[in-house]
């Protein structure tokens, strides 16, 4: 009953957001950045959305990069021609990992190699956090709602929402949450998003790399290739989990599938093969 109430309330809120979102998508951002450069418009019309090129981060041109797969156990994503998909086994030789994080990840690696299904936020309808939001869903469109005071970034599947508040400082002590506190600004043709206040219930990637409440992520969103590619470069700092700051990148292709619409995750999460996954989020009591 509690889950039913939570789902109905979420559907009501999401439907309201869709109505607002269509209006915002049509209007787009207003104003200019410092120096007179027009701010980037990630939603030039109601049907523009962005499809991720993959569900792993791309490596930076130089410097420390994200955890990727163990070369002895290559990761094969869904929809790879003539190859069976695999679950991720993390490369624990990456020097960014603190010893405790490496030990925790080794246990989950062992579970995968023993035949267990590993946790992945999308498969269990859990919020992915930041920066994992960038690799949350392989084939689900990403939408932007832009106003002078905030940018809302959302996947239609879920839906998963991030609010980026423009032109304001961080709170002195933000309450930890799934997506933390994101503040942003435009720098020329780039939207810069600074996020802190993330809880410890998420991972920083799809390889189950943990973090602490010291996690600090800075993302830079920019349009390239005549506006057909959205490039997001990001840096991660967390002295509690990592030995150094590291960087990564994600790219999205512009598409015109449809305007933003509701697509609940929990109600669609059917276990066709009846394998055991992490339980979907369930409220202990109605939140109204």
- How far apart CA 19 and CA 21 sit, in angstroms, is 5
pLDDT above 80: residue 24: no
| Residue-level pLDDT at 137 | 82
> Can you tell me which residue has the tokens 């009846």?
274
Which whole number is the average pLDDT over 97-102? 98
* pLDDT tens column, 61-77: 999 999 999 999 999 98
pLDDT confidence bin for 5, thresholds 50/70/90:
very low
pLDDT above 80: residue 247: yes
Which whole number is the average pLDDT over 228-257? 96
pLDDT above 70: residue 7: no
Which whole number is the average pLDDT over 235-262? 93
pLDDT confidence bin for 2, thresholds 50/70/90:
very low
pLDDT above 70: residue 270: no
Of 124, 154, 158, 135, nearest in space to 207 by CA: 135
pLDDT above 90: residue 253: yes
Which whole number is the average pLDDT over 18-41? 56
* pLDDT tens column, 73-93: 999 988 788 889 899 999 999
- How far apart CA 70 and CA 175 sit, in angstroms, is 35
Report CA 20 to chain centroid distance, whole Å: 22
Q: pTM score, two decimals?
A: 0.83
Task: Give the Cα-Cα-Cα angle 85, 266, 110 (nearest 5 degrees).
Answer: 40
- Give the residue with greater pLDDT, 19 vs 268: 268
The token pair that represents 47 in the structure block = 């049907």
**Residue 236 · residue 247 · CB < 8 Å:** yes
pLDDT above 50: residue 1: no
Report the length, in residues, of the chain.
288
pLDDT above 70: residue 44: yes
- How far apart CA 210 and CA 224 sit, in angstroms, is 31
């Amino acid at each position: 009953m509690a889950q039913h109430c939570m789902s109905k309330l979420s559907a009501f809120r999401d439907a309201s957001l869709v109505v607002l979102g269509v209006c915002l998508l049509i209007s787009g951002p207003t104003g200019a950045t410092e120096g007179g450069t027009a701010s980037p418009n990630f939603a030039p019309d109601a049907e523009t959305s962005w499809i991720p090129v993959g569900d792993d981060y791309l490596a930076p041109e130089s410097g420390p990069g994200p955890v990727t797969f163990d070369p002895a156990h290559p990761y094969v994503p869904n929809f790879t021609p003539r190859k069976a998909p695999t679950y991720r086994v993390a490369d624990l030789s990456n020097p960014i990992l603190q010893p405790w994080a490496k030990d925790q990840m080794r246990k989950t690696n062992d579970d995968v190699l023993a035949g267990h299904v590993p946790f992945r936020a999308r498969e269990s309808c859990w919020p992915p956090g930041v920066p994992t939001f960038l690799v949350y869903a392989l084939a689900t469109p990403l939408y932007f709602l832009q106003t002078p005071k905030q940018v809302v970034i959302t996947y239609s599947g879920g839906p998963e929402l991030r609010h980026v508040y423009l032109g304001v400082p961080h709170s002195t002590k933000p309450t930890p949450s799934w997506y933390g506190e994101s503040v942003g600004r435009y720098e020329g043709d780039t939207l810069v998003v600074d996020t802190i206040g993330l809880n410890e219930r998420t991972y920083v990637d799809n390889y189950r790399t943990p973090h602490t409440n010291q996690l600090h992520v800075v993302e830079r969103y920019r349009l390239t290739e005549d506006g057909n590619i959205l490039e997001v470069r990001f840096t991660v700092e967390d002295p509690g989990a990592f030995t150094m700051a590291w960087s990564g990148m994600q790219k999205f292709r512009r598409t015109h599938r449809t305007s933003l619409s509701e697509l609940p995750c929990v109600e669609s999460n059917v276990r066709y093969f009846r394998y055991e996954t992490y339980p979907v989020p369930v409220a202990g009591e109605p939140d109204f």
